[in-house]
Structure 1
Amino acid sequence: MTTTRPARTDLRELPGDAGLPLIHQSWDFVSGRLTTSRARFDKHGPVSSMRALGKNWVSALGPDAVGEVLTNRNRVFDSGPGWGFLIGPFFRRGLMLLDGAEHHSHRRIMQEAFTARRLAGYLEPMNRTITESLAGWPEAGMLAFYPSIKQLTLDVATNTFMGAKTGVDADRLNTAFVDAVRAANAFVRFPVPGLRWSRGLHGRTTLEQYLTPRIAAKRAGDGTDLFGALCHAQVEDESFTDADIVNHMIFLLMAAHDTSTITLTSMAYYLATNPEWQDRCRDESLALGTDTVAYDDLDKLVALDLVMKEALRLVVPVPGVIRRASADTELLGYHVPAGTFVAANLWGVHHFEEWWPDPERFDPGRFADDRREDKVHRHAFMPFGNGVHKCIGMYFGGMEIKATMHQLLRRYRLSVPDGYEMPLDWSSLPRPRDGLPVILHRL
């Protein structure tokens, strides 16, 4: 649904620049340089125009601009057409790609799979999978943390969501997810064999072929996994079709294991380089006196919660959100023409010193009750987005991250080589270019 306001004649024209000949800002866009820099904010302010990937864009920077886009009070900044341009062929009709009444209906049904009762039920198989995965890690020595934790979170997602182990399919599915995600920033946006776009389409097909044959058994069964919950979810007379279930499962599996992987990776890095916080988190876990965390114990991991929030601030798993204006509108007094794509930059919201003191410093205490620096602006901290499209799995993700870190810290002390700084690749979702070499010390 689109709501418009009466036309205004006092709107300012968008500032901006043409960028490079022919490609304009396309390379900066796909490489992630636009995402992790405040140069555009300093030059043009919070709202500016640009052109990338053959489209006209508005860049929204800072909590005022980004907050207005995501809360979308006038219902003109559509998520489906925005994200659809980047990831539509690979994650079509996932919840993030729906709008209006259809989005509301699907989210209402899907919410049945994320109630507190359901989340508590997911924790037991989640804990079991984490234990089994960590048992395969080395007792001590160097470990490429990112690929190892990515495999763990994929195992958690498939076992918890589907009630099944991926087994021999694990590498194939992981490759399919990676290819589908990275295709969003493809420079060549049509299927040339071997290039990102083509690999993303193949990844989508692989995931469909894995999920579709399993729906009938899930509908007939009474399993407690998320796949079964979606098959049986019903609100009044509404339920999901088989196609709906495949679309939502592909999107949820990607979102659950990619975002958790990124957060666990950044937490491991910051804990390894800040041993005093690592000790605080470990002491809390040891105080629980149990190898695996119980649902009612999650809120007792206070220091771990602070570390998780600070890691989400510093390395936000989804650093930018895409929308498209469905009608002529305004943003902070600037005219935004219908059809314009809007890039809302969450990285800048979390890193601009106007709102965060010493923003590049790892300081979990900024979220403690006596400081609450995240309250300086109502849109200063948005790791899960905002508005009606705020991440539906945010509590599931927090539970998985805490459950994993609880076991990890009870098992290992983490460190990194002297002088090491994690090099991040921001070209799609942030990931360490070198896999993050972590030294494990068995406790």
Structure 2
Amino acid sequence: MGTLQGGIVTIRDRVPPLTSIPLPKAVDRRLLGKRYPVRELASPPPGSGLKPVLGDAGAPLLGHSLDSMRFGVDFALHRYETYGPVSWMGSLGTKIVVLAGPEATQIALVNKDKVYSQAGWRFFIERFFHRGLMLLDFEEHHLHRRIMQEAFTRDKLATYAREFGPTLRAGIAEWGGQDRPRLYWALKRLTLDVATRVFMGMPSGPGAAKINRAFVDSVRAATAIVRVPVPGGRWAAGLSGRKVLERYFAENLPAKRNSPGDDLFSALCHATGDDGERFSDDDVINHMIFLMMAAHDTTTITSTAAAYHLAKHPEWQERAREESLALGDEPPGLAELDRLKTLDLVIKESLRLTAPVPSLPRKALRDTEVLGYHIPAGTLVSVSPNTNHFSPEHWSNPRSFDPERFAEGRREDKSHRYAWMPFGGGAHKCIGLHFGMFEVKAVLHEMLRAHRWSVPSSYRMRWDYVSLPVPVDGLPVHLAALDRGSQKSHE
């Protein structure tokens, strides 16, 4: 941990660190040497035996917002090494307690005493994803989740897979004329196309492009530094995007109510709970806006991360390709996707190295404690999956790409229930995790069938954490069509 000198934390003169997590030298140099006064978040109640949470406010007004956005996982690891599993920092004009490491994470996400509310999410995204499933609490959340589960059964997932398979194949085939596409943006367009078709039953075209733009604006607004609707700012764009989405779903909802279809929009309109409960029109609109965001953003990030690692490790790309070619030429269903074991390993390792949602915010409803530290009522709390995913106590060589760590016989992800948590945990674990895994598999499967892709050996992708992770340069790759004769020899 950093040493304290007159109330100032001096990272450069630190004692042996709490963890053995190494930071890249370039990042380390830029983070080291910054000095901020270390303060207690709040005094523990007299006689409680609890310790105060220590931390620092960071830069005036901005706190550590820009550090977090710029350095992402390295910043999270740096804070953990400096302060330990429970600390606080200034960010976006407020104070946030950060819980890092599997033990602290488990306390917040299991939430057995119902101390932690989803109001933490509401601080960031309420204006843009009002009453989405992730923003609901306790009994109301349980009821809505139980109804929504009907839209994510294995049979429903099989129906969605039949829809997204041909869409993915056609979209990836269109990449053939590009030598060095920015892969993130190509995947973003593709997953938005899948989301509009499979989730909304909406064909591609100008209307879909407008809807897609509204989703992008709404997501990016959540971490705006200026959180008022200044014209031209991200906050204003997000509010405008939300209105576009509300209007679209409200206009199309009556037809979905009257004519059941195979898309998610229709499924939510007709979903019924065990006691006959159904979603109101407002419920359907709110859930669709949230699910559309969650579906395409996390899928794009995970597909991009996995594609990057397959480009950097061609032996894994060829191993995965051999399994994909062995499936034959028909778009795969769920059973076929289940057989792609190499992609399972690659995707899980990619999710470990780049958690699509790097922070899970909560709010303490009353005074509580975590690992002996006092957290007062009303405190914003953030769980940090990134720190867990790089813990040397739970992962061997955590910065290396090693998909075999998830293979039977090793299963490093079983070292702790919350060592690997890309989908969150507890009652709010992602309801669409199986859909997401199948879609990412299908995306990579179609890429493997159609193309080989590579990056220079010296290339290292850097993530921008302004909202959810985005590659700074869009991930330019060299793309080459796969020889059809090579394909046929495997089929």
Place the TM-score, normalised by the shorter chain, in its bin: over 0.9
- Once the two structures are TM-superposed, the CA of residue 78 in structure 1 deviates from its matched residue by 0.7
- Once the two structures are TM-superposed, the CA of residue 349 in structure 1 deviates from its matched residue by 0.9
TM-score normalised by length of structure 2: 0.86
State how many pairs are aligned.
437
Give the corresponding residue for 1:132.
Answer: 170
Matched, 1:372 2:417: no
C-alpha distance in structure 2 between counterparts of 1:313 and 1:224, whole Å = 32
Give the corresponding residue for 1:122.
Answer: 160
- Once the two structures are TM-superposed, the CA of residue 173 in structure 1 deviates from its matched residue by 2.1
- Once the two structures are TM-superposed, the CA of residue 346 in structure 1 deviates from its matched residue by 0.8
Paired letter, 1:51: G
Give the corresponding residue for 1:423.
Answer: 462
Give the corresponding residue for 2:219.
Answer: 181
Aligned positions of 1:21-60 closer than 5 A: 21-31=60-70, 33=72, 36-60=75-99
In structure 2, the residue corresponding to 1:324 is in which secondary structure? strand
Paired letter, 1:408: M
Instruction: Tell whether the 8 Å contact from 1:32 to 1:428 is kept in structure 2 after alignment.
Output: no
Instruction: Tell whether the 8 Å contact from 1:113 to 1:229 is kept in structure 2 after alignment.
Output: yes
Give the corresponding residue for 1:159.
Answer: 197
Instruction: Tell whether the 8 Å contact from 2:220 to 2:467 is kept in structure 1 after alignment.
Output: yes
In structure 2, the residue corresponding to 1:384 is in which secondary structure? coil
Aligned positions of 1:233-248 closer than 5 A: 233-235=271-273, 236-248=275-287
- Once the two structures are TM-superposed, the CA of residue 43 in structure 1 deviates from its matched residue by 1.6
- Once the two structures are TM-superposed, the CA of residue 36 in structure 1 deviates from its matched residue by 4.0
C-alpha distance in structure 1 between counterparts of 2:73 and 2:437, whole Å = 28
Instruction: Tell whether the 8 Å contact from 1:291 to 1:410 is kept in structure 2 after alignment.
Output: no
Give the corresponding residue for 1:91.
Answer: 129
In structure 2, the residue corresponding to 1:421 is in which secondary structure? coil
CA deviation map 1:9-44 (0-9, x unaligned): 121111212323344334334545477432211121
C-alpha distance in structure 2 between counterparts of 1:39 and 1:243, whole Å = 43
C-alpha distance in structure 1 between counterparts of 2:93 and 2:77, whole Å = 23
Instruction: Tell whether the 8 Å contact from 1:346 to 1:382 is kept in structure 2 after alignment.
Output: yes
In structure 2, the residue corresponding to 1:163 is in which secondary structure? coil
- Structure 2 vs 1, CA of residues 138 and 8 (structure 1 numbering), >3 Å: closer, same or farther? farther
Give the corresponding residue for 2:188.
Answer: 150
Give the corresponding residue for 1:404.
Answer: 443
- Structure 2 vs 1, CA of residues 49 and 34 (structure 1 numbering), >3 Å: closer, same or farther? farther
- Structure 2 vs 1, CA of residues 134 and 334 (structure 1 numbering), >3 Å: closer, same or farther? same
TM-score normalised by length of structure 1: 0.95
- Once the two structures are TM-superposed, the CA of residue 174 in structure 1 deviates from its matched residue by 2.3
Deviates more, 1:35-44 or 1:100-109: 35-44
Give the corresponding residue for 1:296.
Answer: 335
Instruction: Tell whether the 8 Å contact from 1:130 to 1:404 is kept in structure 2 after alignment.
Output: yes
Deviates more, 1:304-313 or 1:402-411: 402-411
Deviates more, 1:301-310 or 1:355-364: 355-364
Paired letter, 1:374: D
Instruction: Tell whether the 8 Å contact from 1:82 to 1:324 is kept in structure 2 after alignment.
Output: yes
In structure 2, the residue corresponding to 1:355 is in which secondary structure? coil
Instruction: Tell whether the 8 Å contact from 1:95 to 1:106 is kept in structure 2 after alignment.
Output: yes
C-alpha distance in structure 2 between counterparts of 1:295 and 1:272, whole Å = 26
Paired letter, 1:63: P
Instruction: Tell whether the 8 Å contact from 1:154 to 1:257 is kept in structure 2 after alignment.
Output: yes
Which one of the candidate residues 228, 240, 244 is aligned to 1:202?
240
CA deviation map 1:156-183 (0-9, x unaligned): 1111112221411233222211211111
Which one of the candidate residues 300, 305, 317 is aligned to 1:278?
317
CA deviation map 1:281-304 (0-9, x unaligned): 001111112341122112210001
Paired letter, 1:393: G
C-alpha distance in structure 2 between counterparts of 1:7 and 1:220, whole Å = 62
Larger-Rg structure: 2
C-alpha distance in structure 1 between counterparts of 2:315 and 2:192, whole Å = 30
C-alpha distance in structure 2 between counterparts of 1:85 and 1:324, whole Å = 9
- Once the two structures are TM-superposed, the CA of residue 246 in structure 1 deviates from its matched residue by 0.8
Give the corresponding residue for 2:377.
Answer: 338
- Once the two structures are TM-superposed, the CA of residue 207 in structure 1 deviates from its matched residue by 1.2
Matched, 1:322 2:361: yes
Give the corresponding residue for 1:3.
Answer: none
Give the corresponding residue for 1:13.
Answer: 52
CA deviation map 1:328-374 (0-9, x unaligned): 11111111000000011111111122221111111100000011111
- Structure 2 vs 1, CA of residues 33 and 382 (structure 1 numbering), >3 Å: closer, same or farther? closer
**Of the two structures, which has the highest relative contact order with CA contacts closer than 8 Å and spacing of 6 or more?**
1
- Structure 2 vs 1, CA of residues 327 and 8 (structure 1 numbering), >3 Å: closer, same or farther? farther
Which one of the candidate residues 94, 100, 107 is aligned to 1:68?
107
C-alpha distance in structure 1 between counterparts of 2:183 and 2:314, whole Å = 17
Instruction: Tell whether the 8 Å contact from 1:14 to 1:334 is kept in structure 2 after alignment.
Output: yes
Instruction: Tell whether the 8 Å contact from 2:173 to 2:450 is kept in structure 1 after alignment.
Output: no
C-alpha distance in structure 1 between counterparts of 2:74 and 2:358, whole Å = 7
Give the corresponding residue for 2:6.
Answer: none
CA deviation map 1:27-75 (0-9, x unaligned): 3345454774322111211001222223222111111112211111111
C-alpha distance in structure 2 between counterparts of 1:354 and 1:131, whole Å = 41
Instruction: Tell whether the 8 Å contact from 2:348 to 2:406 is kept in structure 1 after alignment.
Output: yes
Aligned positions of 1:196-235 closer than 5 A: 196-235=234-273
Instruction: Tell whether the 8 Å contact from 1:30 to 1:185 is kept in structure 2 after alignment.
Output: no
C-alpha distance in structure 2 between counterparts of 1:330 and 1:433, whole Å = 38
Deviates more, 1:140-149 or 1:30-39: 30-39
Give the corresponding residue for 2:210.
Answer: 172
Q: Where does the alignment leave 5 or more consecutive residues of structure 2 unmatched? A: 1-44, 483-491
Instruction: Tell whether the 8 Å contact from 2:72 to 2:464 is kept in structure 1 after alignment.
Output: no
- Structure 2 vs 1, CA of residues 35 and 74 (structure 1 numbering), >3 Å: closer, same or farther? farther
In structure 1, the residue corresponding to 2:453 is in which secondary structure? strand
